[in-house]
Each structure stands twice: as C-alpha cells, then as structure tokens.
Amino acid sequence: MSRLRTDAVQGATFVELFFDLVFVFAITKITSNVLHDLTWSGAGRAFVLFWLVWWAWTQFTWTLNLADTENSQIRMLTLAATAVAFFLAQAVPDAYGDAGAWFVIAYVLVRVLGVFGQILVIGDDEVQSRGFVTFAFASIVGLGLVLIGGFVDPDLRPWFFVAAIAADLVTVQIAGQSTWVLESGHFAERHGLIVIIALGESLIAAGVATGDLARDFQFFVTTSGAVVATCVLWWTYFGSLHERFEARLAAQSDSERGQYARDVFSLWHAVVVAGVIGVAVGFEEAVAHPGDPLSTGGALALTIGAALFAGGLAAAAWRSDQRAFAQVRFGFALLVLVSTPLVTQIAGGVALWGLALLTVLLILTEERADRLQPA
C-alpha cells in the first residue's frame, strides 16, 4: 500500500477546507455572471463553466478520499492545486473572452494534479488501479476538448466545453463499472461541506447587495426572508438526508460503491449546488431592490434554482431508495416552478418568504411521509 494512503477514518482536514475556499471564489464569480446576464443563453453559458469548475473540485475529492492529508507531500500537492485553481476562478468572468486560455490551462492543470495525486495514493493497489487507469486515459478526450476550446473563436468555445462535458460523462459511466475503494464518511462529508459553502455564498450575495440600502421595514422583510429561506434549505439537506446518503454509501458493496458515489455525489450534487447559485441570484436581486417585484430573469433564477436544489436531492434520494423523500421533493420542485408568474407580480421580500414557507411545508410533509413508510 502507498505510504501516502491512510486506513484511518478521517474527517475533512484544514488543507481540504483551504482548497475549497478557492472554489467558493469561483462559485461567487459564476453567480455574478448569471446576475449580469439574466438570459437563457447567459444562464446556459454560466452552467457550463460551473460544471467544469465542479468537475475539477469533485475529482480532487476522489483523489484525497483515501490520502493521508496530514502528509507533507499530499499537502503540497493540494496547495499547488489551490494556487492553480485561483487562476481558474479569477478567469471565470471572461472565460468566453480574452481569459479563455487562462481558464482552460488552469482547469487542465488542476485535473492533471488530481490524476497525479491519485497515482501517488493508489500506489500498487491493483484493484483500485483498474478503474483509475480507465478513468485517466478516457479523461484525455475531455481535457483535450477543453484545452482546444480555450484557443478557438469565442463563439465556438461553449460548444467545445459542452463536448468536453459530454466526454467526461461517458468517461465516468465507463470507469464506474470498476471497483472503487472509498472511505464513506469522508466522501459524504466533503460533499456536504460544499453544499454548506454554496448556501453560505447565497447569503454573502444577499449581504453584499445590502451595502447602500436604508435599514427600514422593507429591508428587514427582504433580508430576513433570504436568511430564513437559506436556513430551511439547509435543513432539507442536513436534517436527515445527508446522513442517509452517507449510510447508503457505506452499505454498498465494493463493486457498487463507485457507481453510487458517482451518481449521488459527483453528478446529482452538482445539480444541487447549481440550484443554490440560481437561488443566490434571486436573493441578490430581491435584496438590492426591496419592495419591487423580481424581474422575469430574477424570478426564473430563484424558482429554477430552488427547483434544481430540490430536484437534485430528489434524484439522489431516489437513487438511494429513499422514495418518500424523492416524491415529496419532486412535487416541491414542480410547485416552485409553476409559481414563477406569481413571483414576478409580488415584492421580492414576499417571494423570499414564500419560498421559505414552502420549504417548511416540504420539511413537514416529508417527515410525515417518512413516518408512514413501512419499516
């Protein structure tokens, strides 16, 4: 076994949390991109960038899962990836323009560092090596498409990025058939932390928007609505669902654990975090203009974001055989989506409180549904 690997049960360490901070920066920049281009094309382009940022982050989570993150070599590797990821994040606002080369080179380097780190951690473990070798070689296609995309005409760049994402999705479908050894508690914790970070970023976005506002009743209603909505969204994940995901991951056989981790955490959690970005855009617009209805774009960002958050968790719950949770959350997502026309007609603060109250109703409904499930 590699000396850089640990058999001890470990939680997230300081170097991993430091690594995450750069991705907070990237998520903040993506939120800003959406806010300044509230169109379908703008949202689509932002989602593509988000997915690439997410893919860089989640690959490193797999790399560090079995690593001894107190080891100096692993720490230096993670800090090097953190430094490179900073340039990835700062290039986000102009990734489709002049900063395209900066974005793609940083992205590829973070991914390559992740592959190198996993080689060090796996060592001579033949079981783990089979799936990883498949993943590493198949990833060349996606990395190559991203790299080319950074240097082509900006109008063509999004298509290269989308093709790279499609190639990566094929890659993980193939590699997921192999056996992957994972420490379940650490893996679930890392993904839970990124959800917390994203939710915290939504409050930061709302807080920044309050800078020059008068502290009056409208300010209080709107800002408190954002805070309460964030808190209850947090509850829908950490109330019990996070623990259920972790327990289900631990219960998988060695041959199935990689597929489950891929589906529930690497794929569906990306949808969850993308949803938080949409919610953050809605928060920021509502808080910046308290008392005014949200624009059509702002309303769509809020409702689609909340639907993605709930829908991503619903899909993850369905994959985890938590059908009561899944059905209620799919219903919640649909209800939020059909409320979009109403959201454009009421004050932003009222809309935020409406989201908060609907989320409380979701929590109460699924708790009842869970109690009524056969043991």
pTM across the whole model: 0.93
Contact 293, 345 (CB under 8 A): yes
Residue ranges in 3-68 assigned as alpha helix (H): 14-36, 40-65
Q: At what angle do helices 348-372 and 296-319 cross, to 10 degrees?
A: 10
Contact 59, 111 (CB under 8 A): yes
261 vs 77: CA distance, rounded Å: 24
Partners of 62 in beta bridges: none
251 vs 269: CA distance, rounded Å: 19
- What's residue 370's pLDDT? 67
Which one-letter DSSP state was computed for residue 67? B
Query: Would you state the structure tokens that stand for residue 126, as one six-digit string?
Result: 């033949």
- What's residue 375's pLDDT? 43
Residue whose C-alpha is closest to residue 12's, from 63, 86, 58, 69: 69
Which residues, including other chains, have CB under 8 Å from residue 58's CB and lie 6 or more apart?
191, 265, 266, 269, 270
- What's residue 174's pLDDT? 85
Partners of 5 in beta bridges: 67
- What's residue 71's pLDDT? 87
Dihedral of CA 211/213/214/220: which sign?
A: negative
47 vs 271: CA distance, rounded Å: 10
Contact 127, 92 (CB under 8 A): no
Query: Would you state the structure tokens that stand for residue 137, as one six-digit string?
Result: 């070689």
Partners of 293 in beta bridges: 347
- What's residue 331's pLDDT? 94
CA torsion 323-360-23-259 (nearest 10°) is 0
In this structure, which amino acid lies at residue 135? F
Please give the radius of gyration of the chain, using alpha carbons only, rounded to the nearest integer. Answer: 21
Give the position of tokens 């992957």.
Answer: 180
pLDDT digits (tens, 9 = 90+) for 104-128: 999 999 999 999 998 888 876 777 7
Torsion angles phi and psi, residue 67, rounded to 5: -75, 150
- Average pLDDT of each block of 10 consecutive residues along the chain (375 residues)? 66 89 92 92 96 95 88 93 96 95 97 91 75 85 96 95 96 82 91 92 75 74 90 93 94 89 96 95 88 92 97 96 90 95 92 95 83 56
362 vs 303: CA distance, rounded Å: 15
pLDDT digits (tens, 9 = 90+) for 74-112: 999 999 999 999 999 999 999 999 999 999 999 999 999
What DSSP assignment string belongs to 210-225?
TTT---SHHHHHHHHH
Report the SS3 class of residue 347.
Answer: strand
Which residues, including other chains, have CB under 8 Å from residue 261's CB and lie 6 or more apart?
180, 182, 187, 249
Torsion angles phi and psi, residue 341, rounded to 5: -60, -35
What DSSP assignment string belongs to 160-205?
HHHHHHHHHHHHHHHHTTS-----HHHHHHHHHHHHHHHHHHHHHH
Query: Would you state the structure tokens that stand for residue 150, as one six-digit string?
Result: 């950074």
Give the position of tokens 């709302």.
Answer: 206
